[in-house]
């Protein structure tokens, strides 16, 4: 059967386990794709026992699984959990009452109780020190999605407190990515908008004896801070008078001191078990121009001081951060309480982690700066700009983010789960065309020399409104080299000497002669066609086991195809021995360029970003490098049945 790229689907059979970790899933006809194991709270755990259940999901099929949990009284009970795996888009789930998550439940309770007068205000607060990646997409969907569901508002705020790493380029790229994902902010703000207010609040804390100017160096501050098992030591400058602190802080603002010589620190508790409360730095001296304020300031607030107060200024009701900021929340609350300002509340959720994928802006920047990739928008990068250039759709990313859910437990999601939603969306929306990546010349000997016919081809079998197109057919064609075997092995049903195959949308042809060059390489096939089989039909009812794609040699356009694979060979790119670097896990075959491809003429005027399914090959996107010759990026491949058979045979030999 001709493969349109639609994932093969079968009803899963669930075997209720003896215990949750033993949950198994089998699909009739074999696994559809590697199962995804996610850790979620079950309904019993949510009541306080702390036990977490495992749900295995696959194929995007909604089904009910069963896990065994432990209730408060110690008795075992089967708890039914619905695995809502995003057959529906986030948009269709708004106001549906589910599936829910703990943050959504909190918002519902807050609205019911009249907290914040029933208002919902969220924000997405990126630092403009790099490009957004797929991990940020989860946060964006959560921030904007929850606010939209409950009639609230979402701000886009740049936490631009570190001029040494921030650039206007990043600001513009972030705004473009948020809008591309399908969201529009209600307010556009910058932490730098609040520099004066933050400075005045720092003065307030100094005056109240809650902050002091410290002369310790950065290394000395770390030394004095202590460890998780040992309390910190008080700075020798901790008990300066309010007057001296006010004077020194004013002089810091005027630029009288060199970089790093003095900081302003909050006076909290050097023996606190939470290291974030051991007199954290609020301001540092830094003589550097800011991308928005220029040289107006030579002291800059630290992220942990500016972040919570910025939320408060914007009256953010539900401030959502990933779990690594959980221990920062007491510090944010301390500042809010000491200043007596609007009590914005932070909630932490699990950050996204994907196999074979690096989601650290610092390390992604290293890849860019060291030339391992072609830039932030290299199609191998997990940045939203890179994924967009590769051919990902915003819909696929949003549906994927909806599928991974929101919890209080970090875990790892299989890359195949993202790829499933990508294939699912592209299969529905993109037109089909034919492209031959490794051309093998075919001469149809009994076809008239000067005849050119136009064959009717369906643009998208999933969308009847997409219509059809005309494809030129002539005496000389190109087919894929891999679609011919001179000595075909078992289960290879494509073209071979004496064998008949169907040309997609055209005729049945039979190979009569094989032409080779001096090295013995096959360079041309001589074939005949059956004029009665136009459109691929067989009036006499004979069976043909294979259909292959082709292009007319005279009419085909030259093209370059870039085949992308995982950027890292290991599931965890950070898995390296001590003293080694994560770049050692880079995949040397993550990009392969095929120069002399041939594509049907219907794509001639396609603009960069236009997406296609190359029939039998995969999904491709026109790259911005297209000029004299079209350039296509492979977004993701289709499943090639014969390639799998051949791979198994090779590995078993």
Q: Report the catalytic residues.
A: 127, 351, 361
Contact between residue 23 and residue 81 where contact means Cβ atoms under 8 Å apart: no
Contact between residue 157 and residue 301 where contact means Cβ atoms under 8 Å apart: no
Radius of gyration of the chain (CA): 30
Tracing tokens 């802006």 back to the chain, one arrives at: 361
Q: Rounded to whole angstroms, how far apart are CA atoms 387 and 397?
A: 10
Q: What totals of helices (H) and strands (E) does the chain contain, helices first? A: 15, 31
Q: Rounded to whole angstroms, how far apart are CA atoms 340 and 476?
A: 80
Q: Rounded to whole angstroms, how far apart are CA atoms 406 and 288?
A: 39
Q: Rounded to whole angstroms, how far apart are CA atoms 605 and 609?
A: 12
| Listed residue (57, 63, 60, 65) closest to 89, CA to CA | 60
192: its two tokens: 């730098």
User: What 8-state DSSP symbol labels residue 529?
Assistant: E
Q: Rounded to whole angstroms, how far apart are CA atoms 653 and 649?
A: 6
Report the DSSP beta bridge partners of residue 211: 266
Tracing tokens 């936490």 back to the chain, one arrives at: 159
Contact between residue 21 and residue 54 where contact means Cβ atoms under 8 Å apart: yes
Q: Rounded to whole angstroms, how far apart are CA atoms 115 and 110?
A: 5
185: its two tokens: 């902010």
Q: What is the DSSP string of 1-18?
A: ----SPPP---EEEE--S
Phi, psi for 225 (deg, rounded to 5): -65, -30
Neighbours of 393 (CB within 10 A): 22
Q: Rounded to whole angstroms, how far apart are CA atoms 272 and 269?
A: 5
């Amino acid at each position: 059967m001709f493969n349109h790229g639609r994932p093969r689907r079968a009803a899963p059979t669930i075997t209720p386990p003896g215990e949750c970790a033993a949950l198994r899933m089998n699909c009739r006809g074999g696994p559809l794709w590697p199962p995804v194991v996610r850790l979620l709270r079950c309904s019993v755990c949510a009541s306080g026992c702390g036990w977490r259940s495992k749900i295995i999901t696959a194929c995007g099929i909604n089904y009910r699984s069963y896990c065994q949990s432990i209730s408060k009284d110690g008795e075992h009970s089967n708890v039914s959990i619905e695995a809502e795996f995003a057959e529906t888009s986030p948009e269709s789930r708004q106001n549906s009452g589910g599936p829910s998550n703990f943050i959504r439940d909190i918002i519902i309770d807050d609205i019911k109780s009249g907290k914040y007068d029933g208002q919902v205000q969220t924000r997405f607060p990126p630092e403009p020190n790099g490009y957004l990646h797929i991990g940020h997409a989860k946060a964006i969907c959560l921030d904007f999605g929850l606010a939209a569901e409950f009639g609230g508002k979402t701000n886009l705020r740049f936490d631009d407190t570190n001029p040494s790493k921030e650039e206007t380029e990043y600001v513009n790229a972030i705004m473009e990515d948020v809008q591309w994902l399908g969201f529009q902010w209600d307010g556009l703000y910058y932490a730098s908008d609040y520099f004066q207010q933050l400075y005045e609040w720092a003065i307030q804390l100094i005056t109240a004896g809650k902050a002091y100017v410290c002369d310790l160096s950065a290394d000395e501050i770390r030394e004095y801070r202590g460890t998780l098992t040992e309390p910190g030591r008080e700075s020798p400058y901790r008990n300066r008078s309010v007057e001296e602190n006010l004077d020194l802080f004013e002089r810091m603002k005027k630029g009288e001191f060199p970089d790093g010589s003095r900081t302003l620190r909050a006076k909290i508790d050097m023996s606190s078990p939470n290291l974030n409360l051991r007199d954290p730095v609020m301001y540092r001296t830094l003589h550097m121009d800011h991308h928005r304020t220029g040289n107006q300031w030579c002291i800059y607030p630290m992220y942990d001081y500016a972040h919570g107060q910025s939320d408060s200024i914007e009256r953010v009701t539900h401030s959502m951060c990933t779990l690594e900021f959980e221990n920062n929340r007491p510090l944010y609350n301390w500042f809010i309480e000491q200043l007596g300002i609007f009590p914005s509340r932070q909630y932490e959720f699990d950050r996204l982690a994907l196999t074979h994928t690096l989601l650290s802006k610092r390390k992604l920047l290293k890849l860019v700066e060291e030339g391992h990739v072609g830039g932030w928008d290299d199609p191998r990068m997990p940045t939203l700009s890179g994924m967009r250039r590769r051919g990902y759709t915003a819909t696929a990313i949003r549906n994927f983010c909806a599928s991974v859910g929101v919890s209080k437990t970090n875990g790892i999601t299989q890359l195949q789960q993202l790829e499933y939603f990508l294939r699912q969306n592209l299969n529905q929306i993109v037109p089909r065309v034919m492209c031959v990546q490794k051309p093998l010349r075919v001469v149809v000997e009994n076809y008239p020399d000067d005849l050119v016919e136009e064959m009717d081809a369906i643009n998208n079998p999933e969308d009847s409104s997409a219509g059809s197109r005309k494809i030129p057919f002539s005496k000389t064609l190109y087919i894929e080299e891999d679609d011919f075997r001179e000595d075909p092995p078992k289960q290879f049903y494509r073209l071979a000497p004496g064998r008949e195959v169907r040309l997609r949308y055209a005729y049945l042809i039979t190979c009569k002669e094989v032409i080779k060059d001096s090295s013995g390489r096959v360079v041309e096939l001589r074939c005949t066609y059956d004029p009665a089989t136009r459109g691929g039909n067989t009036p006499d009812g004979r069976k043909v086991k294979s259909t292959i794609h082709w292009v007319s040699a005279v009419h085909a356009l030259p093209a370059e195809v870039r085949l992308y694979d995982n950027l890292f060979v290991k599931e965890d790119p950070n898995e390296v021995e001590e003293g080694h670097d994560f770049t050692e896990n880079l995949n040397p075959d993550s990009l392969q360029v095929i120069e002399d491809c041939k594509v049907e003429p219907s794509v001639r005027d396609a603009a960069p970003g236009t997406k296609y399914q190359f029939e039998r090959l995969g999904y491709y996107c026109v790259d911005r490098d297209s000029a004299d010759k079209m350039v296509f990026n492979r977004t993701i491949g289709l499943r090639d049945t014969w390639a799998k058979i051949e791979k198994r045979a090779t590995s078993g030999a």
